[in-house]
């Protein structure tokens, strides 16, 4: 049973990000994996090997698309060439939902290729929610927005990040991809309680969860995705699952990528929390 | 400040070139204090000033973009050396900010830009221009479309006035050095990398391979994709001219006439060369079926 109306995909279980260094292993060993998350932009090309590989993956696995360049929070009109290409890919993968970040990254036709945080203002809520609706209407699939990690806060902000997130998804009527590692990273950088964030987020809209590793530096914490998930992030994950119920979960590992088996093993650690949540929801039903 | 103005403000600050030590500049070109600008919209915390918080994004912007372009031009880096290459890429990115949602397109204008900014290549300009053209051709050949190729019956319909569309993945190059050997040597020593995370902490450096010696000689090259792999195929000069003419939209008759305009070959020799060129091109599927582009 779906945990909420944005999460019809509870049975997706635990996915792994599809990464180039793992192609060989995946095709040779055909490991059992619940689903793969792909970075949409890597496959928004006209032809060649990326699409061939994707088609081979699609023959055997379920694929969910995750984007890095939609920039829902960029204030100027959407780039329809981008959306058209994305829709082509959506048709190819038949992704049941699509996620991208609650951030901005382009202005006046120039792209930073970064996930830049927004000022938490009412104008930003309106602008971002409008864009999410527009994209959702065009692509004709459910959209979930992901909270980003950040290293700055803005004078103009009028609310907390979680209040901002809740307002945006409410106004856009979309789902949330809750990245608990990003929450942790931001909490370290901005000095808030990460559990207050997890406890406040609109649980009935969480469609997917990201877990990942991060790195602590002397004066700040960076979202590096280059090693295993750290304990505080697992604790936040456990709390999120407790609130949301069993939810499609994905481990992000993008740098210093170890063997596929190691990444998968790390991801599957999430199972213990998912199992606990599942038995709890059964108890409630009984 | 409304949201667009806020984003223009931050874009300018995030994309401002770094100092030689890869740090955020203290002053703008107009002499304004960057710390004062940062203070005007970024809040400090107990560990970092507004300026230092901005610097995280300013450095990330440059490291990510420089790494993305560098990844597509490893042989150019090997030819120019790391220092010259870095300063060239920086100059390029300052002049040519990204205008695409995809990092794939970031290096698209580098070949033309380097031609217009020859001082960045130092004494090896001709070689560098060949290498940069070939490395960009590789990117194009790798993932440009492959349309349905012509079949035998289409070939029989052709006459002097026909125009032919070549495969979008096919790139034709006229080079002054046999840089295909050099580029292959460098690419063989390279691993592939995928998307990076949100964070870029520092510049990455790859080990430089030993480069083969280059002697000037004209090389005509087709860079194309076959069975999802990219190949470099050397062409006869006339075949290169003929295919280039077709690629520019000339009719078959005009492209042939142009290709052989300075040739001393007899009519039979010319006919044999044309036939051979067509046989190879058709075999590799370089001609698209008529009408597929519409
Ligand atoms: Fe994430």
We report the CATH number of the domain holding residue A73 as 3.20.20.150
* pLDDT confidence bin for B194, thresholds 50/70/90: very low
> Would you state the pLDDT for residue A275?
83
Is residue B48 domain-resident?
yes
Looking at CA atoms only, how far is residue A5 from chain B in angstroms? 29
Q: What's the pTM value of the predicted model, to 2 decimals?
A: 0.91
- First-to-last alpha carbon distance for chain B, in angstroms, is 46
Q: Could B201 and A156 be called an inter-chain contact, meaning their C-beta atoms sit closer than 8 Å?
A: no
Is residue B294 domain-resident?
no
Query: Is B150 in the same domain as B7?
Result: no
Coarse DSSP helix, strand, coil percentages of chain B, rounded to the nearest 5 percent: 50, 10, 40
For B13, other C-beta atoms within 10 Å of its C-beta total 22
Is residue B242 domain-resident?
yes
> Would you state the pLDDT for residue B274?
93
Whether A11 shows a pLDDT value over 80: the answer reads no
Question: The domain containing residue B145 runs over which residues?
Answer: 73-283
* pLDDT confidence bin for A8, thresholds 50/70/90: low
Q: Of B44, B71, B98, which marks where a domain is finished?
A: B71
The answer for residues whose C-beta is within 8 angstroms of residue B163's C-beta and 6 or more apart is B246, B249, B250, B251, B252
> Would you state the pLDDT for residue B187?
83
Buried b (16+ CB within 10 A) or exposed e, B38-66: bbebbbebeebebbbbbbbbbbbbbbbbb
Whether A2 shows a pLDDT value over 70: the answer reads no
Query: Is B29 in the same domain as B98?
Result: no
The pLDDT tens digits of the residues spanning A18-29 come to 999 999 999 999
Q: Which of A40, A50, A82, A112 is the mutation pick for testing B, counting most B CBs within 10 A?
A: A112
Is residue A3 domain-resident?
no
Q: How many domains does chain B have?
A: 2
Torsion angle in degrees (nearest 10) through CA of A20, A22, A28, A32: -120
The residue of chain B nearest to residue A149, with distances taken between CA atoms, is B198
Whether A1 shows a pLDDT value over 60: the answer reads no
Query: Is B59 in the same domain as B116?
Result: no
Looking at CA atoms only, how far is residue B197 from chain A in angstroms? 6
Whether B195 shows a pLDDT value over 80: the answer reads no
Q: Could A113 and B68 be called an inter-chain contact, meaning their C-beta atoms sit closer than 8 Å?
A: yes
The pLDDT tens digits of the residues spanning A53-84 come to 999 999 999 999 999 999 999 999 999 999 99
Query: Is B3 in the same domain as B143?
Result: no
| CB nearest A124 (choices: B3, B65, B145) | B3
Stretch B43-63: mean pLDDT: 97
Going from the Cα of B99 to the center of ligand 1, the distance in angstroms, rounded, reads: 24
Q: Could A76 and B14 be called an inter-chain contact, meaning their C-beta atoms sit closer than 8 Å?
A: no
Q: Could A224 and B41 be called an inter-chain contact, meaning their C-beta atoms sit closer than 8 Å?
A: no
Query: Is B142 in the same domain as B241?
Result: yes
Q: Which of A124, A146, A255 is the mutation pick for testing B, counting most B CBs within 10 A?
A: A255
CA B229, distance to chain mean position in Å, is 17
Whether B204 shows a pLDDT value over 80: the answer reads no
> Would you state the pLDDT for residue A252?
93
**More confident site: B26 or A282:** B26
Q: Of A71, A65, A58, A54, nearest to A99 (Cα)?
A: A65
Query: Is B235 in the same domain as B198?
Result: yes
> Would you state the pLDDT for residue B292?
63
> Would you state the pLDDT for residue B263?
85
**More confident site: B201 or A237:** A237
Query: Is B77 in the same domain as B58?
Result: no
The pLDDT tens digits of the residues spanning B156-183 come to 888 999 999 999 999 999 999 999 999 9
> Would you state the pLDDT for residue A16?
95
Q: Of B193, B164, B129, B139, nearest to B290 (Cα)?
A: B164
Looking at CA atoms only, how far is residue A154 from chain B in angstroms? 5
Is residue A265 domain-resident?
yes
| CB nearest A116 (choices: B10, B40, B50) | B10
Is residue A2 domain-resident?
no
**More confident site: B205 or B166:** B166
Looking at CA atoms only, how far is residue B291 from chain A in angstroms? 18
Is residue A4 domain-resident?
no
For A219, other C-beta atoms within 10 Å of its C-beta total 13
The pLDDT tens digits of the residues spanning B96-106 come to 999 999 999 99
Q: Could B101 and A79 be called an inter-chain contact, meaning their C-beta atoms sit closer than 8 Å?
A: yes
Chain A residues touching B64 at Cβ < 8 A: 113-114
- Mean of per-residue pLDDT scores for chain B: 91
Coil/strand/helix, residue B183: helix
Query: Is B104 in the same domain as B61?
Result: no
Query: Is B40 in the same domain as B128?
Result: no
Query: Is B103 in the same domain as B220?
Result: yes
Q: Of B71, B102, B121, which marks where a domain is finished?
A: B71
Q: Could A152 and B98 be called an inter-chain contact, meaning their C-beta atoms sit closer than 8 Å?
A: no
Is residue B289 domain-resident?
no
> Would you state the pLDDT for residue B214?
85
Query: Is B52 in the same domain as B184?
Result: no
Is residue B64 domain-resident?
yes
The pLDDT tens digits of the residues spanning B237-294 come to 999 999 999 999 999 999 999 999 988 889 999 999 999 999 999 999 999 998 765 4
Q: Could B97 and A155 be called an inter-chain contact, meaning their C-beta atoms sit closer than 8 Å?
A: no
Going from the Cα of A105 to the center of ligand 1, the distance in angstroms, rounded, reads: 16
Chain A residues touching B100 at Cβ < 8 A: 111
Q: Could B52 and A226 be called an inter-chain contact, meaning their C-beta atoms sit closer than 8 Å?
A: no
Going from the Cα of A148 to the center of ligand 1, the distance in angstroms, rounded, reads: 7
> Would you state the pLDDT for residue B254?
96
Whether B192 shows a pLDDT value over 50: the answer reads no
Chain A residues touching B60 at Cβ < 8 A: 114
Stretch B84-110: mean pLDDT: 96
- Mean of per-residue pLDDT scores for chain A: 93
The residue of chain A nearest to residue B59, with distances taken between CA atoms, is A114
Is residue A126 domain-resident?
yes
| CB nearest A114 (choices: B45, B60, B97) | B60
Question: The domain containing residue A202 runs over which residues?
Answer: 10-285
For A175, other C-beta atoms within 10 Å of its C-beta total 28
Coil/strand/helix, residue A145: strand
Q: Which of these ranges, A5-9, A69-73, A198-202, B145-149, has the smallest mean pLDDT?
A: A5-9
Chain B residues touching A109 at Cβ < 8 A: 99
Looking at CA atoms only, how far is residue B273 from chain A in angstroms? 30
Chain A residues touching B47 at Cβ < 8 A: 219-220
> Would you state the pLDDT for residue A284?
59
Whether B191 shows a pLDDT value over 70: the answer reads no
Is residue A34 domain-resident?
yes
Q: Of B71, B98, B131, which marks where a domain is finished?
A: B71
> Would you state the pLDDT for residue B100?
96
Is residue A5 domain-resident?
no
Q: How many domains does chain A have?
A: 1
Token pair for B190: 């390279």
Q: Which of residues 35-94 of B touch A (CB under 8 A)?
A: 40-43, 45-48, 50, 52-54, 56-57, 60-61, 64-65, 68
Looking at CA atoms only, how far is residue B43 from chain A in angstroms? 6
Chain B residues touching A66 at Cβ < 8 A: none
Q: Could B192 and A20 be called an inter-chain contact, meaning their C-beta atoms sit closer than 8 Å?
A: yes
| CB nearest B7 (choices: A47, A104, A115) | A104
| CB nearest B48 (choices: A111, A112, A220) | A220
Q: Which of these ranges, A109-123, B171-185, B197-211, has the smallest mean pLDDT?
A: B197-211
> Would you state the pLDDT for residue B242?
96
Is residue A18 domain-resident?
yes
Q: Which of B194, B200, B231 is the mutation pick for testing A, counting most A CBs within 10 A?
A: B194
- For A22-168, where are the E strands, in sequence order? 35-39, 63-66, 98-101, 104-107, 110-116, 143-146, 153-154
| CB nearest A114 (choices: B50, B64, B169) | B64
Is residue B293 domain-resident?
no
| CB nearest B57 (choices: A75, A152, A189) | A152
Residue reference for tokens 């190949």 = B231
Query: Is B221 in the same domain as B97?
Result: yes
């Amino acid at each position: 049973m779906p945990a909420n109306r944005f999460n019809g995909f509870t049975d997706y279980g635990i996915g792994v990000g599809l990464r180039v260094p793992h192609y060989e292993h995946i095709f040779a060993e055909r490991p059992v994996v619940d689903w793969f998350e792909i970075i949409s932009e890597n496959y928004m090309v006209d032809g060649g090997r990326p699409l061939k590989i994707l088609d081979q993956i699609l023959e055997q696995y379920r694929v969910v698309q995750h984007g890095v360049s939609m920039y829902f929070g960029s204030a100027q009109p959407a780039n329809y060439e981008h959306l058209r290409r994305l829709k082509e890919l959506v048709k190819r993968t038949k992704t049941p939902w699509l996620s991208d970040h609650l951030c901005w990254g382009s202005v006046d036709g120039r792209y930073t290729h970064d996930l830049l945080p927004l000022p938490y203002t009412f104008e930003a809520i309106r602008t971002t929610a409008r864009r999410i609706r527009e994209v959702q209407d065009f692509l004709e699939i459910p959209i979930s927005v992901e909270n980003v990690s950040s290293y700055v806060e803005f004078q103009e902000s009028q609310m907390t990040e979680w209040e901002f997130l809740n307002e945006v998804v409410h106004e856009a009527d979309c789902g949330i991809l809750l990245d608990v590692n990003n929450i942790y990273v931001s909490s370290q950088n901005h000095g808030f309680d990460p559990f207050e964030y997890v406890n406040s987020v609109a649980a009935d809209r969480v469609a997917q969860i990201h877990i990942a590793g991060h790195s602590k530096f002397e004066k700040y914490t960076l979202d590096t995705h280059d090693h295993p998930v750290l304990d505080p992030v697992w604790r936040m994950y456990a709390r999120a699952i407790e609130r949301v119920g069993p939810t499609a979960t994905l481990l992000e590992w993008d740098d210093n990528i170890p063997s596929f088996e190691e990444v998968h093993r790390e991801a599957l650690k999430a199972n213990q929390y998912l199992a606990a949540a599942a038995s709890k929801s059964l108890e409630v039903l009984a | 400040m409304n949201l667009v103005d806020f984003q223009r403000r931050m874009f300018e600050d995030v994309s401002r070139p770094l100092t030689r030590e890869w740090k955020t500049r203290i002053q703008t070109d107009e002499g304004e204090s960057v710390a004062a600008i940062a203070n005007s919209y970024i809040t400090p915390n107990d560990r970092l000033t507004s300026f230092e918080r901005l610097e995280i994004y300013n450095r990330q912007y440059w490291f990510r973009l420089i790494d993305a372009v560098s990844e597509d031009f490893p042989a150019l880096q090997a030819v120019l050396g790391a220092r010259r290459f870095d300063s060239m890429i920086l100059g390029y990115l300052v002049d040519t900010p990204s205008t695409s949602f995809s990092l794939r397109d970031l290096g698209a204008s580098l070949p033309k830009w380097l031609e217009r900014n020859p001082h960045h290549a130092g004494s090896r300009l001709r070689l560098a221009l060949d290498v940069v053209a070939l490395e960009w051709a590789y990117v194009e050949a790798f993932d440009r479309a492959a349309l349905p190729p012509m079949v035998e019956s289409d070939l029989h319909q052709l006459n002097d006035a026909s125009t032919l569309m070549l495969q979008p993945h096919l790139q034709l190059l006229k080079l002054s050095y046999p840089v295909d050997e050099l580029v292959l040597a460098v690419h063989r020593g390279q691993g592939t990398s995928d998307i990076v995370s949100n964070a870029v902490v520092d510049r990455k450096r790859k080990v430089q391979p030993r480069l083969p010696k280059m002697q000037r000689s004209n090389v005509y090259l087709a860079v194309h994709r076959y069975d999802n792999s990219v190949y470099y195929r050397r062409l006869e000069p006339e075949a290169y001219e003929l295919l280039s003419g077709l690629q520019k939209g000339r009719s078959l008759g005009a492209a042939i006439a142009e290709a052989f305009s300075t040739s001393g070959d007899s009519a039979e020799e010319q006919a044999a060369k044309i036939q051979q060129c067509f046989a190879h091109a058709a075999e590799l599927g370089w001609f698209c079926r008529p009408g597929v582009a519409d």
